[in-house]
Homo-oligomer: A and B are copies of this chain.
């Protein structure tokens, strides 16, 4: 299999300076909208210092068998509800981190409970198929009414996977096979004996040196292939699309695909303009390079569109779009049938995803449609962003480079005392995460409403006052 190199250019970062409009003195209205979760708490509840004694004891127990150094908070999921996450000591926090941006419709969502207790779910759990060999009779229906119902425009097929990393890696594999197929002269061309022999030793031509081009500060996963396209480095600088094209033409290992996140999420919430992405699409098309959009973190509604790349108004769709997290299952969408490798079993593994999780995604989609949550999130995001702008004007030293305007609730800012900020958040009743080295990132669920935004804004101000 081809190895992966990567380019050294950087995605330009667009950070937005808060506008000077003085609206900070206008009292903001308490939203009176009906809560999506009737029995959600009215606000956070603090019972002990966090972590409390029960959490500390249980963590020590878990530490014996499982690495807990990344543990944030042991959770009592039976008491978590909607936007609120509960620990073992009776503390209940407004959760705007949501399992690293992967809970879309709230804890203990009643509709998902029904899905989880359905006969279809039982059979998916106890009769797990090798999906490439023995899919269930209703697999096409599950795909068509679920994963594919929300397929990005222009992409009507899917390869299913387990999580974001293997979704990206299988997309890279598809790109490499497609590239070699073009070189070889089409899908009907057989592998040469030399290819078959050399691939067993990881050598060319069977295992040619090909590249996936990725961007400075990108994050595409943590397995060996995906990790080589991940860069957790907060440095950013202006480079141009011309350099992308130059590198595609000149890079020593041919570039089979360019992979990009609509918003570099783990890298610190770095944004670029729709025009930048349209330019990237044009360059990849002009140079016969595939364009892979990694929507693992940005997908499924949080940016106020179902897919973040819906904001770009592309003339031609991406070649592949990868998904995971809020989808609760994973894979990549594609449209071009030639992206199916020319032989069976070249893109294959035992499970190829999990129908149980595909059913959950279908339930999530139903809930998003029922409550119109994408549009809702666009509106809540505007409200939240305005409130943050006011805070940024009031506390310019603590709330810098506010970004994510028009991107739903996918909002972040920089703050010089970031880790201290995050450390104090639980003490005021919110669970909140960071990204990159200096960003606070908001990743609320799609059921986050204006009254939650009010609580969040108040909480942020409380934290700032403690710094």
Contacts and interface: CB of A to CB of B under 8 A. Distances in A.
A36 interface: no
A48 interface: no
A75 B129 contact: yes
Interface stretch (A26-34, A99-107, A314-322, A390-398): A99-107
Contact of A222 (B62, B232, B349): B349
Contact of A1 (B132, B133, B228, B325): B228
A165 interface: yes
Interface in A246-286: none
Contact of A133 (B70, B160, B165, B344): B70
Interface stretch (A139-147, A300-308, A369-377): A139-147
Contacts of A112: 125-126
Copies of this chain held together in the complex: 2
A276 B5 CA distance: 38
Given A58-B137, A88-B137, A139-B62, A126 B113 contact: yes
A117 interface: yes
A127 B103 contact: yes
Interface residues of A, number: 102
B116 A65 contact: no
Give the residue among A99, A123, A126, A157 with the most B Cβ atoms within 10 A. A126
A72 B225 contact: no
B136 A75 contact: yes
- Interface class of chain A by DSSP: loop
Contacts of A160: 66
Give the residue among A127, A160, A227 with the most B Cβ atoms within 10 A. A127
Contacts of A165: 166, 223, 349
A393 to B, nearest CB: 33
A200 interface: yes
A225 B224 contact: yes
B133 A72 contact: yes
Interface stretch (A15-23, A350-358, A405-413, A453-461): A350-358
Given A108-B127, A139-B66, A350-B100, A224 B4 contact: yes
In the complex, the 4 A-B pairs of residues with the closest C-beta atoms, listed nearest first = A224-B225, A69-B344, A162-B162, A112-B126
12 contacts: A5-B202, A58-B140, A65-B156, A77-B123, A85-B134, A113-B122, A116-B122, A126-B360, A165-B166, A172-B224, A200-B231, A324-B350
Interface of A: 1, 3-6, 8, 58, 61-62, 64-67, 69-78, 80, 85, 88, 99-100, 102-103, 107-109, 112-113, 115-117, 121-123, 125-130, 132-137, 139-140, 143-144, 148, 156-160, 162-166, 169-170, 172-173, 200-202, 221-228, 231-233, 324-325, 328, 340, 343-345, 347-351, 354, 356-357, 360
